[in-house]
Chains A and B, each alone.
Chain A
Amino acid sequence: MRIAQLFLMAIIFGLLWFALHHRSSTEARAFRRIAFLGLTVLIILAVLFPGALTDIANTFGIGRGADLVIYLVAIGLLFFSVSTYLKFGDMDRRMTLLARHIALLESKGDIGRIDPDELPKV
């Protein structure tokens, strides 16, 4: 296995682990913003210096700079999907709690045990 493969695998699993364990925490938010800024800078640099990208790719054992970009974008997309999926799950749970609270408030007085006297006499 080449260095690049090991490196990318490490990044993928590291990000997945991070997404699963640190969601909605302060670190996670900061991390997302840094990743966003980093990626933006990287894209600008890649556009300005296409040759440099290939040099960086080569040091990781990847042939072309474009391949490196594809890998990074794929990782970014995976990370984005997982964190969005989890975020929706969290929102869904919060909305459920709110809805349940309302449902139970609304039904107060309507639900309750049948008064034993209302049941047919034995």
Chain B
Amino acid sequence: MTNTEDSSILRENNDTVIVVPVFSESQVIASVISDLSQYFPNIYCVDDGSPDGSGEIAKKAGAHVVWHPMNFGQGAAIQTGIEAGLENPEIKYFVTFDGDGQHSPIDALEMIRTLRTGEVDVVFGSRFLDERTELTAAKRIVLKTAISYTNALTGLKLTDAHNGLRAFNRKVAEYVNLQQNGMAHATEIVNQISKGGFQYCERPVHIVYTDYSKAKGQSLWNSVNILFDLILR
């Protein structure tokens, strides 16, 4: 890609905020930000009380950083990032993007392009729409169970639950209010989007499971906690 194309993409995406919840990602956050900043000028990192200085690293890498005074969880960080984006009336589109490097900025770019057509309000990323993402059998089963639950609860028809890559327009950002601080926010956001009656679609995304993201990522045991959070609150 030439420089000219780069800068025109940046200009085009100046109405978009990438919300990156960050908790102790000091090893990878700089490269995540620099990859994103090829396409997106407005990257809002929410440092969720990281003890390892992730926020400072993200700031040096060129992200705007909002600092949580202590750790609240990914759901809380995403909500904070969305609210930070809403403070700027020029922002039309929002993307949630994990801080551990498992998502691809190109996928985010494609999702924003889909939003720009105006046909949908929300684009969900799904790792099950093509064969690119490699998953262990156990993880596949848990994710499939989770999405059956989410679909039954919300009446939406999605193929992937708990995928951190999603894009939505301002209308949705104003409507959504995440109260689940932990990982149950992934089901909560789908539920609220369903209640709001927004138009949605899914796009295949590639999740890269590096040793790092696997070590950082969700333990399957956490699915028990998520279920509890959703039922008892």
Residues of A within 8 A of B (CB): 20, 82, 85-86, 89, 92-93, 95-96, 99-100, 102-104, 106-108, 110-114, 116, 119-122
Contact = CB atoms under 8 A, between A and B. Distances in A.
Nearest to B88: A113
A56 to B, nearest CB: 33
A103 B66 contact: yes
28 contacts: A89-B233, A92-B72, A92-B181, A99-B70, A99-B72, A103-B46, A103-B68, A103-B80, A106-B67, A107-B64, A110-B64, A111-B44, A111-B66, A111-B88, A112-B88, A113-B14, A113-B42, A113-B88, A113-B90, A114-B42, A116-B11, A116-B14, A119-B11, A119-B14, A119-B41, A120-B3, A122-B4, A122-B8
Given A92-B181, A113-B90, A119-B11, A99 B68 contact: yes
B232 A82 contact: yes
A38 to B, nearest CB: 26
A121 B3 CA distance: 10
Interface of B: 3-4, 6-8, 10-11, 14-15, 41-42, 44, 46, 64-70, 72, 76, 79-80, 83-84, 87-88, 90-91, 179, 181, 232-233
A96 B10 contact: no
A57 B181 CA distance: 45
B58 to A, nearest CB: 12
A104 B87 contact: yes
A96 to B, nearest CB: 5
A79 B55 CA distance: 41
A96 B72 contact: yes
Nearest to B182: A92
Contact of A100 (B3, B15, B83): B83
B14 A112 contact: no
A112 B64 contact: yes
A59 B88 CA distance: 69
B69 A102 contact: yes
Q: Which 3 A-B pairs have the closest CB atoms?
A: A120-B7, A111-B64, A114-B41
Contact of B7 (A82, A95, A107, A121): A121
Contact of B65 (A89, A96, A110): A110
Nearest to B4: A122
Given A100-B79, A107-B67, 6 more contacts: A103-B66, A104-B83, A106-B66, A111-B88, A120-B6, A120-B10
A112 B66 CA distance: 11
A119 B66 CA distance: 22
A113 B65 CA distance: 13
A119 B233 contact: no
A99 B71 CA distance: 10
Which has the most chain B C-beta neighbours within 10 Å: A111, A116, A122?
A111
Contacts of A120: 3, 6-7, 10
A111 B179 contact: no
